[in-house]
Structure 1
């Protein structure tokens, strides 16, 4: 099973932005930046990662979890994946 390449390109871009944000946070910590600024930037990284996770879920979760034998989604698996991002 392969997810929609256009959607996954968007997810990849989000993750690359989050990677850059995280690198900036690490530099801030290494440079002794203000605690409030570090926390603010960590929050931004966290939200970017959450958005990427939810984008993956929204674009392909039903396809990922559908039981091919009877065509139904495994709702317990779906709930577990959603809660893992909460």
Structure 2
């Protein structure tokens, strides 16, 4: 359950993910139609970049609200969770 209740952000994330979903369908179609590999790879790079943007926005909200609330409540274990999440994101 998320700690933040920002419906504007929920809508922004949903809109971004809908666009990414469309990009992925387009990539699939390109592969099926035999489009030049470099063009497909460029579209994949674009989709990955868009997904990274979603992750960054979600990470910001997670840190500003979820993590902050848990630290205030005295749960220092959440720092380890956050570090693991950031390391996972950096390794992709």
TM-score (norm 1): 0.84
Q: Is residue 30–residue 40 contact of structure 2 (8 Å, CA) maintained in 1?
A: yes
TM-score (norm 2): 0.79
Aligned mate of 2:15, from 13, 16, 35? 13
RMSD of Structure 2 on Structure 1 (CA)? 2.0
The CA deviation string for residues 24-58 of structure 1, in whole angstroms up to 9 with x for no partner, is 00000000010000000000111111110110011
User: Does 2:52 align with 1:77?
Assistant: no
Which ranges of 4 or more aligned residues in structure 1 deviate by more than 6 Å? none
Q: Within 1, Cα distance between the matches of 2:54 and 2:89?
A: 10
> Which structure has more helix as a fraction of its residues?
2
Structure 2's unaligned 5+ residue stretches are none
